[in-house]
Amino acid sequence: MHSARWVFTRLLGVGLAAALAVVTLSLAVTGQLSLYINPDSAWFAVGMAIVLLIGAPLTFLLPLGAEADDGHGHAHDEDHALDRGAPRRASLGRVAAVTGGVLSGAIVLTMLVLPPTALSTQLALERGTGAPPLFAGSDTVALATTGDTASFGVGDWASVFATATDPDAFVGKSVTLTGFVAPDDDGRGFGLTRLVITHCVIDAQPATVPVATDDLSLPAGQWVSVSGTIRPDPDGTLRIAAADVTEIDPPGDPYEY
Amino acid sequence: MTPPAATTRTRAGLWLAGVGVGLAAIAVLVAIRVFVPELFPAGVQDRLQDGVTLALSVLVESLPFVVLGVILSIVVQVWVPPGAIERWMPRSAWGRRAVLSLVGMIVPVCECGNVPFARGLLIGGFAPSEALTFLVAAPIVNPIVIITTHQAFGFGDGILVARLVGGYLVANLIGWLYSRHPDQDALLTARFARSRELVACETGGRGRRSLAQLVIELRAVMPALVIGSALAGAVQVLVPRDALLAIGSNPVYSIVAMVALAIVVSICSNVDAFFALSFASSFTPGSIVAFLVVGPLVDLKMIALLRTTFTTRTIAGIVVVVLLSAFAIAIGVNLLA
């Protein structure tokens, strides 16, 4: 009975941590870690996963239950200690511990066996706040005005379109961008959208640039590659006039960072 | 009597067998990871899959910080001589708490790693109210959070200053309130109080004690972290964000909405400023400050982690104090900005 409890202790602590370390390393080896976190912090995640996988086998040197051994020849039983005070609360506590343990084990097992996947475009579309996200602020706009926009993605252009004080400086620039289709209310095209991640997917926010095109048949969520030129609307806001819109498969690296 | 050479051989054999079993267990995990996902080529339904993706991203991001926190906790408990840290602390209770709320400036762990580190402080002899002061201050008063909040907001609307000063004051307020509690140990769960006693009388070499602490700390933190992350992921795919955002410009309701959002999304305090930035144009500055003060202290993930050590009643008190303080600070900012 007691040994089952100590096995449970190991599984829920070292076991869950080791399983997540294996998931982290497998994602790093297959180049898919960027589906979950910003590649800039990959070294830290991978480094600590390796530390954990070195430490985990070493814990097998400790006999089961030895972590609760007080050196006086017997292991303390936490539950008995609890029982003395309030038996009903102790058994409730035990039920909660077992339920939480089984639940967390099931969640990690699901993560271990499901193939890696990016967030769905459907969720990305729901996450729009209606306000333009300002990912990089003034630095991006300053860089844009110097003309070095070759590496700009949807997120960078969305910042520039929203914050540029001199929109005319960008009119006529050619751009080629990849993203997915979001509905555009004014019926003149669609919003080219991409999720931008700062740290990990939970902080992902959609960035959108308006695209003018005659082809209004593209369904929301369809990935496309757009080539075109930046043009001003009559009200001074910027828009990409599409020369070519090509439907593509979802890319292996669907986010921008 | 067994000759010493035979004892050494037996010990080496046990050592190898133990590590061998450990490596075999990890090989099984790797095999599952490599072969089983092949059986789900089409994945599962979008919304469930999105929930799993979000929860896993939080876990992959926070696991290294938890490991770092556990390592630091082991260092404090096993490798630093007892009382060594306390000798450097001021004698007065106020002074000790004031210093502890600045420890986040030099301990490089974020909020998930702070919990195992604070457990280390408690086992090392600090009072629960002192450990709480550290736990509440560290996610806000630390260099990375200061830099990212400055990058996002500069000094505009006093958001950075209000966040830092607010976090520091709330931490010391909570520390003071709980220092008035006559029975400090009653703030802790029976399970944690028990592991604290165990560590106090634990024997064996430092290596063995370090391994025992690794087992104990991971057992305490991992299920809470997994469930907290899963809750954060689930709520994100189930609660429509528009519902929270429809009330952004009202000076009071906007604060309620941003506080609710902070509790739900459970973003790491190192980057939550960038997340909050996208709401800055449609929400009041006070509500942004409320988001930045509440999120690191009492979001879903953090509450689950705190529950490993503190009683539900203690945590309820912390949540109430944090929420009331955040509201007061936010309304102050809205009036001044």
Chain A, nearest residue to B70 by Cα? A52
- A52 shares contact with chain B (CB less than 8 Å): yes
Give yes or no for a contact between B269 and B139, defined as CB atoms under 8 angstroms apart: yes
Q: What pLDDT does A52 receive?
A: 94
Q: What is the mean pLDDT of residues A156-168?
A: 78
Average pLDDT, chain B: 83
Asked if A21 and B60 come within 8 Å (Cβ–Cβ), the reply is: no
Give yes or no for a contact between A208 and A226, defined as CB atoms under 8 angstroms apart: no
Asked if B33 and A20 come within 8 Å (Cβ–Cβ), the reply is: no
Helix (H) or strand (E) holding B94: helix B93-100
The predicted-structure confidence for B145-190, as pLDDT tens digits, reads as follows: 888 788 777 777 788 888 899 999 999 999 999 999 988 889 998 8
Asked if A202 and B267 come within 8 Å (Cβ–Cβ), the reply is: yes
Measured in angstroms, the CA of A47 and the nearest CA of chain B are apart by 8
Tell whether the model's pLDDT for residue B109 goes beyond 90. Answer: no
Q: Is the dihedral of CA B113, B114, B117, B123 positive or negative?
A: negative
- Side chain identity at residue B138, one-letter code: A
Q: What ipTM was assigned to the predicted interfaces of this complex?
A: 0.85
Measured in angstroms, the CA of B95 and the nearest CA of chain A are apart by 35
Residue that is written with structure tokens 């007691």 in the block: A2
Whole-prediction pTM value?
A: 0.81
Domain spans in chain B, listed from the N-terminal domain onward: 44-336
The predicted-structure confidence for B55-72, as pLDDT tens digits, reads as follows: 898 889 888 888 888 888
Residue B61: list chain A partners with CB under 8 A: 36-37, 41, 45, 199-200, 202
Asked if B227 and A100 come within 8 Å (Cβ–Cβ), the reply is: yes
Q: What pLDDT does A80 receive?
A: 43
Measured in angstroms, the CA of B219 and the nearest CA of chain A are apart by 4
Give yes or no for a contact between B74 and B280, defined as CB atoms under 8 angstroms apart: no
Helix (H) or strand (E) holding A244: strand A238-247
Asked if A37 and B61 come within 8 Å (Cβ–Cβ), the reply is: yes
Cβ burial, residue B294 (10 Å; 0-12/13-18/19+): buried
Residue B39: list chain A partners with CB under 8 A: 113
C-alpha A67/C-alpha B10 separation (Å) is 22
Q: What pLDDT does B173 receive?
A: 94
Indicate the pLDDT class of residue B91, thresholds 50, 70 and 90. Answer: confident
Q: What pLDDT does A145 receive?
A: 59
Helix (H) or strand (E) holding A230: strand A223-232
Q: Under DSSP, is residue A223 helix (H, G, I), strand (E, B) or coil?
A: strand
Residue B250: CB atoms within 10 A of its CB come to 14
Q: Tell me how far CA of residue B275 lies from CA of A39, A136, B155, B289, B308, in angstroms.
A: 18, 12, 17, 12, 28
Asked if B232 and A202 come within 8 Å (Cβ–Cβ), the reply is: yes
Best residue of B63, B245, B287 to probe chain A, by most A CBs closer than 10 Å = B63
Give yes or no for a contact between B64 and A45, defined as CB atoms under 8 angstroms apart: yes
Indicate the pLDDT class of residue A24, thresholds 50, 70 and 90. Answer: very high
Of B203 and A78, the structure prediction assigns the larger pLDDT to: B203
Asked if B222 and A12 come within 8 Å (Cβ–Cβ), the reply is: yes
What single-letter DSSP state applies at residue B310?
B
Q: What is the mean pLDDT of residues B186-210?
A: 79
Cβ burial, residue A131 (10 Å; 0-12/13-18/19+): middle
Give yes or no for a contact between B129 and B142, defined as CB atoms under 8 angstroms apart: no
Q: How far is CA B163 from the centre of its chain?
A: 18
- A72 shares contact with chain B (CB less than 8 Å): yes
Q: What pLDDT does A134 receive?
A: 53
Through-space distance between the first and last CA atoms of chain A, rounded to whole angstroms: 50
C-alpha A201/C-alpha A257 separation (Å) is 10
C-alpha A38/C-alpha B57 separation (Å) is 10
Residue A120: list chain B partners with CB under 8 A: 46-47, 49-50
Tell whether the model's pLDDT for residue A82 goes beyond 50. Answer: no
- A73 shares contact with chain B (CB less than 8 Å): no
C-alpha B126/C-alpha A6 separation (Å) is 29
Per DSSP, the residues of B110-154 read -HHHHHHHHHHHHHTT--HHHHHHHHHHTTTSSHHHHHHHHHHHT
Give yes or no for a contact between B331 and B251, defined as CB atoms under 8 angstroms apart: yes
List of residues 6+ apart from B230 with CB closer than 8 A: A104, A107, B51, B55
B278 → closest Cβ in A108, A116, A129: A129
C-alpha A125/C-alpha A4 separation (Å) is 47
The predicted-structure confidence for A165-215, as pLDDT tens digits, reads as follows: 777 778 888 888 999 998 877 778 888 999 888 778 877 888 888 888 887
Q: How far is CA B43 from the centre of its chain?
A: 32
Q: What pLDDT does A45 receive?
A: 92
Residue that is written with structure tokens 């006999």 in the block: A63
Q: How many helices (H) and strands (E) does chain B have?
A: 16, 0
Tell whether the model's pLDDT for residue A10 goes beyond 60. Answer: yes
Tokens of B311: 């009683």
- Side chain identity at residue B145, one-letter code: V
Domain spans in chain A, listed from the N-terminal domain onward: 2-113, 123-256
Give yes or no for a contact between B258 and B285, defined as CB atoms under 8 angstroms apart: no
C-alpha A157/C-alpha A174 separation (Å) is 12
Give yes or no for a contact between A124 and A206, defined as CB atoms under 8 angstroms apart: yes
Bridge-partner residues for A191, per DSSP? A182, A210
Q: How far is CA B25 from the centre of its chain?
A: 29
State the helix-helix crossing angle for A87-113 and B4-35, rounded to 10 degrees: 60
Of B113 and B335, the structure prediction assigns the larger pLDDT to: B335
* Residues recorded for chain B: 337
Q: Which CATH architecture has domain A123-256?
A: Beta Barrel (2.40)
Q: What pLDDT does A78 receive?
A: 45
Give yes or no for a contact between B166 and B293, defined as CB atoms under 8 angstroms apart: yes
Chain B, nearest residue to A60 by Cα? B18
Q: Tell me how far CA of residue B125 lies from CA of A124, B86, B161, B187, in angstroms.
A: 48, 8, 33, 15
Q: Under DSSP, is residue B16 helix (H, G, I), strand (E, B) or coil?
A: helix
Asked if A18 and B236 come within 8 Å (Cβ–Cβ), the reply is: no
C-alpha A37/C-alpha A60 separation (Å) is 31
